[in-house]
Copies of this chain bind each other. A is one copy, B any other.
Amino acid sequence: MDDSRINPDGTPTLAQVAARAGVSPITVSRVVRLPDMVAEATRERVETAMRELGYVPNLVAGSLASARTRAVGVLVPTVANAIFADTIQGISDTLEPLGYAVFLAQSHYDDAREEKMLSALLARRPEALIMVGSPATAAGARMLRRAGIPVVETWDLPTNPIDAVAGFDNKAAGAAVARHFASVGRRKLAFIGGDDPRAGRRWAGFYQAAQEAGLEPPLRLVLARNAGAGVAAAADLTGRDGVFAANDALAFGLLAGLRQAGRRVPEDVGVVGLGDLEIGRLIFPTLSTVRIDGEAIGRTAGLLTVSRDGPRRIDLGFSLVVRETG
């Protein structure tokens, strides 16, 4: 194949395929999108021309002409946190077979950055938008409402969602952990986590349930959201016999820190994480955790973007999984 036939200023266009196959451009378009509508002989002629030219459809142009991008915007705090990676996986695995692509963006837990990312995503006119949590700013929320596309808030159950929800009750999850600690005789509790709204709700539930169980007020440590912070937090938890870490990664760090401090788990202190990452089942001692199916959240969110059937608020729930860490 002689490359001189390719548009020297760029990649081959649909018009060039049409000229080569001796048909009009719209027929080439039909071969790509609606092949059953084209006579077999014509279709084969066009397909040969496409193959010879190495034609790759231009979805930028097609999206503009059709007012459809066939893409979904996805905004997560960070892709490096495995629980969100599972959600992205669920979203992608659900939408890709339906012909939808994923435009990914990260907020890094920063409100201003989240707003900027929402704007950047919306500029690309995704047909829907899925985000972890809810917009942190009024401007962000306004932008999403104005966009007039399906919006799914995940990993939480907001009282005034913009559109659809696929999440679980963070406050109830925190309460369940505190009640569990009380039921196994833990008296001095603590919570370690970040300062995002979801961690705040887990803390609120944890605190309230501890109060209701007659335990002394739990301690809250607000940390950076990585395992290293969990390691360091162990030093501030002397005397605490039950610690709820806002996510499993923090819990892994905490376990290492406690081990280094010579505190036995679960004999001296119980540890519960959140997320039920697979690693938690493999380490020693195995991690007790609040099981959240991040991938199911993603799948559900994906389905909520493409279908208006059924409820728009899905509570996927959680369950407390008690393993060796207490």
Contacts and interface: CB of A to CB of B under 8 A. Distances in A.
A143 B56 contact: yes
Contact of A122 (B56, B64, B80, B82): B56
Interface in A235-293: 249, 252-253, 255-256, 259, 278-279, 281-284
Given A82-B82, A148-B11, A227-B278, A58 B123 contact: yes
Given A227-B282, A279-B252, A59 B104 contact: no
A78 interface: yes
Contacts of A85: 79-80, 82, 85
Interface stretch (A86-94, A174-182, A215-223, A311-319): A86-94
Interface in A156-192: none
Contacts of A147: 11, 56
Given A11-B147, A124-B101, A125-B58, A231 B282 contact: yes
A58 B119 CA distance: 11
Interface residues of A, number: 59
A54 B146 contact: yes
User: Main SS of the interface on chain A?
Assistant: helix
A54 B101 contact: no
Contact of A146 (B11, B146, B284): B11
A39 interface: no
A141 interface: no
Contacts of A279: 227, 249, 252, 279, 283
B124 A59 contact: yes
